[in-house]
Amino acid sequence: MNSLNDQTLSDLRAAARTQRKITSEVKNQALLKIAELLEKSSNEIIEENKKDLAALPADTAAAFRDRLTLNAERIDGMVVSLKQVAALPDPVGELIEKTTLNNGLLLKKVRAPLGVIFMIFESRPNVILEAFSLAFKSGNVILLRGGSESKHSSAVIYRLMRESLTASGFAQLPFHGVEDYDRSLVEKLLKRKDMIDIVVPRGGDNLIDFVQRTALMPIIKNDRGMCHTYVAEDADLDMAAKIVANAKTQRPGVCNALETVLVNEQVAAKFLPLLYKATDAKNLEWHVDAPSLAILKDQPRVKAATPQDWDTEYLELIMNCRVVKNLEEAISHIEQHGSKHSEAIITVSEEKARTFQLDIDAAAVYWNASTRFTDGFEFGLGGELGISTQKLHVRGPVGLRELTNARWLIDGRGQTRG
């Protein structure tokens, strides 16, 4: 199933018709069977992943290498995610509303699958099963195209999926893994609105821009994560240091990681040394404004920020820091530089927190918590196809319900319109 041609796309379209009618029990059992085979094949997957890692250039960024890496713990996470999706309620056919008109027509608004989803992702092979399981459980089929840097990892995962689904009785496979890494193929697929219903790009700015300029079908956009945390003047500073350190350093190469911390001027002199100490073991590099530099001037790995830094998603152990006068200035900075992904405030004041949450236009807005929680698995959705930062259809983690839309079923008894 390595070739991709019109017949493959036609097969996916046919599978989408079948998939709409498959029962929850059949879908759940298939997901559990994949999880079982994945668990048994953990060592094989890790060995194939080592080939991908070995092929990376020596100067590859640590964050990129981390995104590509599969180990026993991450494979266990993939297994857990599959089981969690199997345990979640099936959204297909869910009754959203029901009403009877004066003329006797019975109207039912129900959830239905989107159809054929084309998912383009970069470097993270664990995305394959996360995306497949959500598309599959929500009654869709999915066409998956990852980056060539993960070709060995992807190939073995695709093979295990095919084996498991075939053993579960699927004559028409509800997915296709693209193993042709010619970039021109992606451009051709983005023109196939006759065969593909939705495209979901999950990667860097260049990929997102390319898909927006090229695709003829609707897009669920998963944009960059220019995430901020504002430490208010009344914040519990020990808690704030713990939250900011987690948001920035726990896994810096993902879109919900912190890029800029904003600190109220009343607590900056006390808080910044505390935060520096909390992140020092990670060798975090700081790009800071003048007031922050005056406080941290004697510390290594601290330098003056450039204007471009405030708009840079580093995805590595680099963090911006700015001292602000008040909540309004913090909100203004985020409105100017944020990507509408995830933002946080640390404060004891519910009034300040609610003002921040209402004023900030982002998919997820936190009070006293790390932005690292913006994740389908953490939200109990079983995973995600990405974090949508757009305004239409879905915002935030793209889970099962977000991979359906509403349609109307109308029952009549011979009514005609006069």
* Per-residue pLDDT tens over the stretch 384-406: 888 888 878 888 889 999 999 99
pLDDT for the residue 3: 57
At 119-147, the pLDDT tens digits run: 999 878 989 999 999 999 999 999 999 99
pLDDT for the residue 271: 98
Q: Judge contact between 341 and 319, C-beta under 8 A.
A: no
* HEC-encoded secondary structure of 382-397: CCCCCEECCCCCCCEE
At 2-39, the pLDDT tens digits run: 457 889 999 999 999 999 999 999 999 999 999 999 99
366 DSSP β-pair partners? 344
Q: Judge contact between 285 and 345, C-beta under 8 A.
A: no
Tell me which DSSP letter residue 88 carries.
S
At 54-75, the pLDDT tens digits run: 999 999 988 789 889 999 999 9
User: Is the confidence at residue 258, as pLDDT, over 70?
Assistant: yes
User: Is the confidence at residue 295, as pLDDT, over 50?
Assistant: yes
Q: What percent of the chain has pLDDT over 70?
A: 99
Mean pLDDT of 214-223: 90
Name every residue whose Cβ is closer than 8 Å to that of residue 103 and which is 6 or more positions away in sequence: 415
Which of 336, 393, 414, 398 shows the shortest CA–CA distance to 364? 398
Mean pLDDT of 277-300: 96
Mean pLDDT of 243-264: 96
Strand 227-231 and strand 302-304: the pairing is: unpaired
Cα 31 from Cα 25, distance rounded (Å): 10
Q: Judge contact between 291 and 324, C-beta under 8 A.
A: no
Cα 368 from Cα 124, distance rounded (Å): 29
At 145-158, the pLDDT tens digits run: 999 999 999 999 99
Name every residue whose Cβ is closer than 8 Å to that of residue 286 and which is 6 or more positions away in sequence: 276, 292, 296, 299, 301, 302, 303, 318, 319, 320, 321
User: Is the confidence at residue 1, as pLDDT, over 50?
Assistant: no
- Buried b vs exposed e over 70-79: b needs ≥16 C-beta within 10 Å? beeebbebbb
Q: Judge contact between 379 and 85, C-beta under 8 A.
A: no
Low-confidence winner among 156-170, 199-213, 335-349 (lowest mean pLDDT): 199-213
Q: Judging by beta carbons within 10 Å of its beta carbon (0-12, 13-18, 19+), is residue 273 exposed, middle or buried? A: middle
CA atoms within 13 A on the CB side of 308: 1
CA atoms within 13 A on the CB side of 349: 10
Cα 199 from Cα 219, distance rounded (Å): 5
Domains of the chain from N-terminus onward: 6-222+385-411 (3.40.605.10), 227-373 (3.40.309.10)
Which of 356, 364, 306 shows the shortest CA–CA distance to 331? 356
Provide the 10 A C-beta neighbour count for residue 117.
28
**pLDDT category of residue 383 using cuts at 50, 70 and 90:** confident
pLDDT for the residue 33: 97
Which of 386, 376, 364 shows the shortest CA–CA distance to 85? 376
Which of 151, 126, 89, 122 shows the shortest CA–CA distance to 404? 89
Give the chain's mean pLDDT. Answer: 94
Residue with structure tokens 């471009």?
Answer: 308
Residue with structure tokens 């510390």?
Answer: 299
**Predicted model pTM:** 0.84
User: Which residue type, as a one-letter code, is found at position 167?
Assistant: A
Which of 121, 290, 322 shows the shortest CA–CA distance to 208? 121
Tell me which DSSP letter residue 2 carries.
-
Which of 349, 360, 358 shows the shortest CA–CA distance to 234? 349
**pLDDT category of residue 161 using cuts at 50, 70 and 90:** very high
Which of 416, 418, 388 shows the shortest CA–CA distance to 401? 388
